[in-house]
Amino acid sequence: MLTDLTIHELAGLFRRKAATPTQAAREYLDRIAALDPKVKAYLTVTGEAALARAAEADARFQAGAPLSPLDGVPLGLKDVLCTRGVRTTCGSKILESFVPPYDATVVARLQRAGAVVLGKLNMDEFAMGSSTENSGFFTTRNPWDLSRVPGGSSGGSAAAVAADLAAATLGTDTGGSIRQPAAFCGNVGLKPTYGRVSRYGLVAFASSLDQIGPFTKDVEDAALMLQAIAGHDPKDSTSATVPVPDYAAGLGRGVEGLRVGIPAEYFIDGLDPEVESAVRAAIEILRGLGAKTESVSLPHTEYGLAAYYLIGPAEASSNLARYDGVKYGLRVPGSRDLIDMYSRTRGAGFGAEVKRRVMLGTYALSAGYHDAYYGKAQRVRTLVQRDFQHAFERVDVIVAPTTPSVAFKVGEKADPLSMYLNDVFTIPVNLAGLPGVSVPAGFTRAGLPIGVQVIGKAFEEETVLRTAKAYETATEWRKRKPELAA
Amino acid sequence: MPEPKITMQEVEQVARLARLALSDAEKESMRRELDGILSYIDKLRALDTEGVPPTSHAVPMTNVMREDEPVPSLPQADMLANAPDRSGEFFRVPKIIEE
Amino acid sequence: MSGEYEVVIGLEVHAQLLTRTKMFCGCSTAFGAPPNTQTCPVCQGMPGSLPVINRRAVEFGIKTALAIGCSVNADNRFARKHYYYPDMPKNYQISQYEEPLAVHGHLDVEAAGAARRIGIERLHLEEDVGKLVHEGSLETAQSSQVDFNRAGVPLMEIVSKPDMRAPEEAAAYLRALRAIVVYLGVCDGNMEEGSLRCDANISLRKRGAAEYGTKVEIKNMNSFRNVQHALEYEIKRQARALDTGERIVQETRLWDPDKAHTVSMRSKEFAHDYRYFPEPDLPPLDVEARWVEAVRATLPELPAARRARFMEAHALSAYDAGLLTGSRALADYFEAAVAGCGKP
């Protein structure tokens, strides 16, 4: 089945004319129709547009002139990325009918590469959450166990790849929202260095933390996706001018002599023993391949979560101030006056977690509390960054668990704080702005995926990816697929 | 019992600042939840950050600017298309009362 | 006016900059286009949009700062200022707060025959808001209409120190500041159309008192004359209140030129909590000395200096010199004419 294949496998078939983009698009759309009612990954399926784009790709392959390694490849996009003429909800009722008049830069780049967009994927509302249970519409299910969450906030993006409902997808990661669902769903999930990928058209949650990245079936695909979207964008003042290397070129270089740091603070009580043994086994495999491992310390790890839950909500409370019923989105009718309209619209349009974070952020920035909360968190952020800087003086990459546990049941984590603790290993990486990837590292006895995380220095995605690739090549996790009957 | 980190009055003040209408039940659960979260966050106080500069930008950069060259604006129709209440060429909003 | 009170006045001036495009996007700043035709996702604050700083706006800010004797802060950055209003696309304004573009300048003005040096606290850049159109007045309208063409136009805010002691001084300061920004070509100085706006802060205190009195903000003064009259009225109002033992309320009042009085607008008693924090979407500026010097080299001879030189070189009265240097174009023409045909 074409839907089993990776991007590079599919591209190979297209080039050899053994299959066409239209066939691939049709198969994916059929599979979505059959299985997505159970998985619930998609918010919007753009079937007609996808087939039109696929037909254009067919012609290019016929003429022997594909646009890129992604030409004709069916992809899904997290619904936090603006797509011109296609509803973009951010998983929120307040934007349920919002149709952007413009494309995000990453969307435009994928279009120029010839990719075929199948639709928009479900997510925690405004990217706030770790389970996709905060979506304003419905909860996506983990294809490995439909009673469990796929992780969040990019739950739909992860589930779609795991269930072969897209060849690859884009998600976003602010505190772990790519890496954690990738771990829960058994995919490769990459968060690039902050600034590596343009945020123009990414509906902002926390401006200094948000990054866009791919979910893929294997590491080579992640390199191909990153290649298509990375690079400076004059419309995003925080996007880096650092040149974009050829990410696929050095993938097979292996890890001989690579210095791998194992952070002591990531192996704590509360880490699921099956996750721990899978991650330690992964480290052993890397040693076997020639990597040199040593213990490193990231002493401020435990403070990272607290700092994040001040900085993120502070920036979010600001970024979400614009959702007020004036220019777009929901407006609750029948208000007495403007302020009544604002309050009722935001009260009705935002879900509980979003309201919580807007309140927390507003409080942290308010006069009298600003220095004690927001100001303090910014300084702690510096300490977290310095931890990584010190560690990276001695090692090239850091290998650690992605999450403290595997996918939990829908409804299991009712208390906000216990939900936040999911992100304890991913958050520090966002605070420091570093690249991180989660790759499949095995399964629990109950058959749930486990992820291992590789963290690198700023703009060294190549090193991160080649480490992940070496490990992936030495294992067979990717061959196992969830059992999903129509 | 430890002092509450946030009072109901503060919850109401913050909700006003944030333009969020909360039901009484929501206010109560908000107060409880925020209290729990703020208690957790309090661990930051133990950290000595004397002399540590704040980080506002993850990756340091300066002087990102553009030239003063016009770029075509988007058509009026596009910009008004999502308007919840449109009045001709304008967005319309309800009666504005100064607080 | 009761001589027992000293008047303390500070002025906040907003000048719309004569750049071709807006502060953070490439939309045109041209006046008079149909509503909502000069906007884009950025200046309309659409989800996912991001600002990019207009270099020329920064240059105009530096130029003005130098002309009014300010020191340019090499390290300066933008900050978000939060409040909800329908003319604010993002419900925050990108402005500058703790690290403004320039600080500590001065203007030398003449009022009632006396020369005074008025201190300037700071100069910073920010974006303008959209235009609200009310059917009728703000008080009676059942709804209002919003046009975002003006949203995002670059503004330069210049805040004086509370150094002025009389309405004539305030008017003189405003005239002098206007003359400079027009001479520099950074602003067209049109108060009626709103490209130059002035708000005043005024308080009274007993002569000899060390502390300032409660200050009142006065808005909606759209000409030099209105500035002077509004301040004169306000002095009377506050003096009368203080004389009868009334407490002055810290508030914003609007000048009503038809009724010639100020009206309370909203209570600033509970000051806005703007929740400023550094703008995360914009890296900070590092205005190098090289750039400042390059801008300094483009400064024309400023109005005061030119007037003095005309008086000296051409034996003109202060009045005549003032007239001729009132516009840079006229002064240039005069000098060309003199060069052409000898003594005036």
Same domain, A16 and A113: yes
Mean pLDDT check: name the lowest of A387-391, A392-396, B65-69, C254-258: C254-258
Task: For residues C184-206, give the mean pLDDT.
Answer: 95
Comparing CB atoms, the residue among B58, B61, B97 nearest residue A338 is B97
Task: For residues A92-101, give the mean pLDDT.
Answer: 97
Question: What CA–CA distance (Å, rounded) separates B1 from A374?
Answer: 26
Give DSSP secondary structure letters for A136-203: SS----BTTBTTB---SSSHHHHHHHHTTSSSEEEEEESSSTTHHHHHHHT-EEEEPPTTSB--TTBP
Question: What CA–CA distance (Å, rounded) separates C155 from A252?
Answer: 54
For A:65-104, CB contacts with C below 8 A are 81-82, 88, 90, 95, 98, 100-102, 104
Comparing CB atoms, the residue among B68, B76, B79 nearest residue C55 is B68
Contact residues, chain A, for C90 at CB < 8 Å: 321-322
Per the CB < 8 Å rule, is A318 touching C82? yes
Residue-wise pLDDT for A178-232, tens only, equals 999 999 999 999 999 999 999 999 999 999 999 999 999 999 999 999 999 999 9
Task: For residues C71-81, give the mean pLDDT.
Answer: 97
Comparing CB atoms, the residue among A88, A324, A374 nearest residue C84 is A324
Task: For residues A266-274, give the mean pLDDT.
Answer: 92
- Whether pLDDT at A99 is above 90: yes
- Which is it for strands B65-66 and C53-54: parallel, antiparallel or unpaired? parallel
Residue-wise pLDDT for A297-353, tens only, equals 999 999 999 999 999 999 999 999 999 999 999 999 999 899 999 999 999 999 999
Residue A293 lies in a domain: no
- Whether pLDDT at C32 is above 50: yes
Per the CB < 8 Å rule, is A382 touching B6? no
Q: What is the pLDDT of residue C1?
A: 45
Same domain, C91 and C139: yes
Cβ neighbors of C223 (< 8 A, separation 6 or more) are C191, C192
A neighbours by CB contacts (3+ pairs under 8 Å): B, C
Q: What is the pLDDT of residue A486?
A: 62
Q: Given CB atoms, is A382 within the 8 Å cutoff of chain C?
A: no
Same domain, C42 and C83: yes
Cβ neighbors of A393 (< 8 A, separation 6 or more) are none
Average pLDDT taken over every residue of chain A: 97
Contact residues, chain A, for B93 at CB < 8 Å: 326, 338, 341
Same domain, C44 and C65: yes
- Whether pLDDT at B99 is above 70: no
Q: Given CB atoms, is A327 within the 8 Å cutoff of chain B?
A: yes
Residue A177 lies in a domain: yes
Comparing CB atoms, the residue among B33, B49, B54 nearest residue A416 is B33
Q: Which residue of C has its CA nearest to A88?
A: C47
Chain C interface test: which of B14, B61, B96 (most C C-beta within 10 Å) = B96
Same domain, C29 and C90: yes
Comparing CB atoms, the residue among C36, C138, C266 nearest residue B89 is C36
Task: For residues A53-61, give the mean pLDDT.
Answer: 98
Burial A43-56 (b: 16+ CB within 10 A, else e): bbbbeebbeebbee
Residue A280 lies in a domain: no
Q: What is the pLDDT of residue A157?
A: 98
| Two tokens, residue B74 | 């988007």
Same domain, A230 and A126: yes
Residue C207 lies in a domain: no
Residue A276 lies in a domain: no
> For chain C, what is the domain count?
2
Chain C residues with at least one Cβ partner in A under 8 Å = 41, 44-53, 80, 82, 84, 86, 89-92, 146, 273, 275, 277, 280-283
Same domain, A359 and A471: no
Residue-wise pLDDT for C257-303, tens only, equals 999 999 987 654 456 899 999 999 999 999 999 999 999 999 998 88
Question: What CA–CA distance (Å, rounded) separates A187 from C269?
Answer: 56
Residue A245 sits in a domain whose CATH number is: 3.90.1300.10
Per the CB < 8 Å rule, is C50 touching A235? yes
| Two tokens, residue C84 | 């909800």
Per the CB < 8 Å rule, is B70 touching C28? yes
Contact residues, chain A, for B22 at CB < 8 Å: 347, 355
Q: How far is C279 from chain B (nearest CA, A)?
A: 8
Confidence class for position B2, pLDDT limits 50, 70, 90:
low
Question: What CA–CA distance (Å, rounded) separates C158 from C177?
Answer: 9
Question: What CA–CA distance (Å, rounded) separates C170 from C3?
Answer: 19
Residue A295 lies in a domain: no
- Whether pLDDT at B3 is above 80: no
CB atoms within 10 A of CB C269: 9
Residue A95 lies in a domain: yes
Same domain, C281 and C331: no
Residue that is last in its domain, among A319, A354, A380: A380
Residue that is last in its domain, among A332, A354, A380: A380
Same domain, C150 and C189: yes
Contact residues, chain A, for B25 at CB < 8 Å: none
Q: How far is B1 from chain A (nearest CA, A)?
A: 20
The percentage of residues in chain C with a pLDDT greater than 90, rounded to a whole number, is: 74
What are the C-alpha distances in Å from C153 to residues A9, A47, A236, C66? 51, 41, 19, 22
Comparing CB atoms, the residue among B61, B70, B90 nearest residue C147 is B90
Same domain, A254 and A357: no
Residue that is last in its domain, among A349, A380, A411: A380
Q: Given CB atoms, is A436 within the 8 Å cutoff of chain B?
A: no
What is the extent of the structural domain holding A211? 2-260+393-479
Contact residues, chain A, for C45 at CB < 8 Å: 322, 327
DSSP H stretches of helix in A289-351: 301-319, 338-349
Residue C249 lies in a domain: no
Mean pLDDT check: name the lowest of A41-45, A439-443, C21-25, C223-227: C223-227
Q: Which residue, chain included where needed, has tokens 């999930």? A: A189
Let me know the angle formed at the C-alpha of B37 by B31 and B39, rounded to the nearest 5 degrees. 100
Same domain, C190 and C309: no
Q: Which residue, chain included where needed, has tokens 């992964």? A: A282
Q: Given CB atoms, is A328 within the 8 Å cutoff of chain C?
A: yes
Q: What is the pLDDT of residue C269?
A: 43
CB atoms within 10 A of CB A94: 26
Identify which of A171-185, B30-44, B55-69 has the greatest average pLDDT.
Answer: A171-185
Q: What is the pLDDT of residue C141?
A: 81
Contact residues, chain C, for A98 at CB < 8 Å: 47
Same domain, C291 and C336: no
Helix (H) or strand (E) holding C142: none
Question: What CA–CA distance (Å, rounded) separates A84 from A126?
Answer: 19
Comparing CB atoms, the residue among A100, A203, A338 nearest residue C86 is A338
What pTM does this model have? 0.96
Same domain, A91 and A226: yes
Same domain, A90 and A133: yes
Same domain, A311 and A448: no
Same domain, C273 and C344: no
Same domain, A354 and A404: no
Task: For residues A88-101, give the mean pLDDT.
Answer: 98
Cβ neighbors of C11 (< 8 A, separation 6 or more) are C159, C160, C164, C170, C173, C174, C198, C199, C200, C201
Helix (H) or strand (E) holding A423: none
Let me know the angle formed at the C-alpha of A219 by A49 and A386, rounded to the nearest 5 degrees. 110
Q: How far is B3 from chain A (nearest CA, A)?
A: 17
Residue-wise pLDDT for A390-437, tens only, equals 999 999 999 999 999 999 999 999 888 888 888 999 999 999 999 999
Same domain, A121 and A255: yes
* Main-chain phi, psi angles of A330, to 5 degrees: -65, 140
> For chain A, what is the domain count?
2
- Whether pLDDT at B1 is above 80: no
For A:361-390, CB contacts with B below 8 A are 362-363, 366, 372-373, 375-383, 385
Confidence class for position C343, pLDDT limits 50, 70, 90:
low
Q: Given CB atoms, is C342 within the 8 Å cutoff of chain B?
A: no
Same domain, A134 and A50: yes
What is the extent of the structural domain holding C311? 301-344
Same domain, C194 and C305: no
Q: Given CB atoms, is B25 within the 8 Å cutoff of chain A?
A: no
Minimal CA–CA distance to B63: which of C284, C50, C97?
C284
Confidence class for position C344, pLDDT limits 50, 70, 90:
low
Question: What CA–CA distance (Å, rounded) separates C15 from C182?
Answer: 10
Same domain, C184 and C310: no
Residue A167 lies in a domain: yes
Contact residues, chain C, for B14 at CB < 8 Å: none
Q: What is the pLDDT of residue C267?
A: 53
- Whether pLDDT at C308 is above 90: no
Rounded to 10°, the helix B8-17/B24-41 angle is 100
- Whether pLDDT at C199 is above 90: yes
Sign of CA dihedral A222, A225, A228, A230: negative
Q: What is the pLDDT of residue C268?
A: 45
Minimal CA–CA distance to A128: which of A146, A104, A155?
A155
Residue C183 lies in a domain: yes
C neighbours by CB contacts (3+ pairs under 8 Å): A, B
Contact B34, A356 (CB under 8 A): yes
Give the active site residues of A.
78, 153, 177
What are the C-alpha distances in Å from A127 to residues A122, A327, C18, C274, C315? 10, 22, 40, 25, 72
Same domain, A31 and A122: yes
Cβ neighbors of A384 (< 8 A, separation 6 or more) are A298, A300, A301, A303, A304, A307, A428, A431, A432
Question: What CA–CA distance (Å, rounded) separates C329 from A125?
Answer: 58
ipTM: 0.96
Same domain, A328 and A251: no
Same domain, C282 and C340: no
Residues in chain C: 344
Q: What is the pLDDT of residue C121?
A: 98
Q: Which residue of C has its CA nearest to A371?
A: C277
Side-by-side strand order, sheet with C277-278: C92-95, C79-82, C277-278
Question: What CA–CA distance (Å, rounded) separates C37 from A393?
Answer: 53
